[in-house]
Amino acid sequence: MVYFVPRIKDRSAIISEARSSLTGRIVDSYTNIPTLKLFAHTDREDDYARESITDHTRKFHDQQRLITLMEIVVWTINGALIVATIGLALWLWSRGLITIGVIALTARLVIRINNMAGWVMFIVTSIFENIGIVQEGMETISRPHGLVDVPGARPLSVTKGEIRFEHVRFGYGLERGIVDDLSLTIHPGEKVGVVGRSGAGKSTLVNLLLRFYDLESGRILIDDQDISRVTQDSLRAKIGMVTQDTSLLHRSIMENILYVLGGGWTTALLRAFTAVPMHALCSGMMGFYIGQAKFASSKDQENRLQKRGLWIAVGIHGSYDFLLFIVPLHGLIPAFGVIPILIGNYIALRKKIKSARDEDKKLGRS
């Protein structure tokens, strides 16, 4: 046990690593399946996956070989124990030193011990196998983050929008610096295009501004605040970035849009429940004036009533859409502004209908 169990644990960790690599390769191929098909490199992909499968199988066989060897050793020792114990009992019985009942009892006991040993071996081995797997996983999951917010980091506050690179040096930890002693000031409102050959370090500059990496030396300041001293979330939330390649989360298009808008579930629900009544009320308002225009006493009044109907409907509907639209930008309060508009519109339309009915009565039209 002392010899085999730690070795089984180590091999288990090795298999777990191989399994992760195998899963990673297969998931990578499947997620990029259109690209793979376009390049028509099926054989190369097969080889790539096969290499991982072969490696995983070899490591799995290594472990199984060790477990089988352990089982052979344990069963041989157990077998020897049974043979020796029962042999000794028989010998003692042949000498008349013990009775036949003792032989039966001894045989039963030794077989029981044998079964228990197999069971203990199975349990201990699987515990250590799992410890190996967990250890390998922990190395990935519990790796300490190198890039963290400093204690007491405050959110970035952008007032003017000035960006300053001061003697920045960075090279992805490599000897040759990619960005070496770069100083650059981008004034508020200034538009700057960074031009250079591929690999010159343009994306690196943006990555540094977003603090995806810490600088080797120098500072980057936004409105005089060192970006390494503000919270990473507030820094990235303040920077709008259009990446070179498009990417979608593996969710519906609507969920992707809502993700960008910061959730937006409340807006979606609000729209679901208010859109139809709002459309109906706006068309009611417009219909009211168009109806009145039909009874206008002059062409001029007819035009005026038609225009009023149109503008009132557009104005109310426009405000409704605007309030829902600006939610993701300014919090939820404006979105709920659609409710008073809806109620106000309803009351106004009822009043208009009532006053028209009264007028009809007065003129004897109904």
Ligand X SMILES: Nc1ncnc2c1ncn2[C@@H]1O[C@H](COP(=O)(O)OP(=O)(O)OP(=O)(O)O)[C@@H](O)[C@H]1O
Least CB distance to ligand X at residue 202 (A): 4
CA dist., res. 250 & res. 213, Å (int): 27
The item of ligand X, Mg ion, none sharing an interface with residue 201, based on CB under 5 to 8 Å by kind, is: ligand X
Distance in Å, CB of 240 to ligand X, minimum = 18
Rounded CA-CA distance 150/229 in Å is 6
DSSP of 302-323: HHHHHHHHHHHHHHHHHHHHHH
**Least Cβ distance, residue 39 to ligand X (angstroms):** 20
Report whether 28 contacts 52 (CB < 8 A).
no
SS3 (DSSP) at 164: strand
Helix and strand numbers (H, E) in the chain are: 12, 4
**Binding partner at 204 among Mg ion, ligand X, none, C-beta below 5 to 8 Å by kind:** ligand X
Q: Which is nearer to Mg ion, 152 or 196 (CB)?
A: 196
Count interface residues toward ligand X (CB under 6 A).
10
| Nearer residue to Mg ion within complex by CB, 203 or 231 | 203
Using CB under 6 A as the binding rule, the residues of this chain from 138 to 177 that contact ligand X are 172
Q: Which is nearer to ligand X, 70 or 208 (CB)?
A: 208
Give 220's strand partners: 165
**Among 318, 299, 300, 313, CA closest to 352:** 313
Please give the Cα distance from 133 to 131 (Å, whole number).
5
Question: Binding string, 175-214, against Mg ion, x = CB under 5 A?
Answer: ----------------------------x-----------
178 touches, from Mg ion, ligand X, none (C-beta below 5 to 8 Å by class): ligand X
Question: Which CB sits closer to ligand X, 178 or 348?
Answer: 178
231 near Mg ion, rule: CB under 5 A: no
Contact 81, 89 (CB under 8 A): no
Task: Work out how close the CB of 158 gets to ligand X at its nearest, in angstroms, rounded to a whole number.
Answer: 24
The residues in 187-246 that bind ligand X, with binding defined as CB under 6 A, are: 196, 198-204
Closer of 203 and 234 to ligand X (Cβ): 203
Question: Which residues share a beta bridge with 225?
Answer: 222
Token pair belonging to 242: 């259009």
Q: How far is the CB of 201 from ligand X (least distance, A)?
A: 4
For Mg ion, give the closer residue by CB, 142 or 243: 243
Cβ atoms within 10 Å of 111's Cβ, excluding its own:
15
Q: Are 322 and 337 in contact (CB under 8 A)?
A: no
Binding site residues, Mg ion, CB under 5 A: 203
Q: Which residues bind ligand X (CB under 6 A)?
A: 172, 178, 196, 198-204
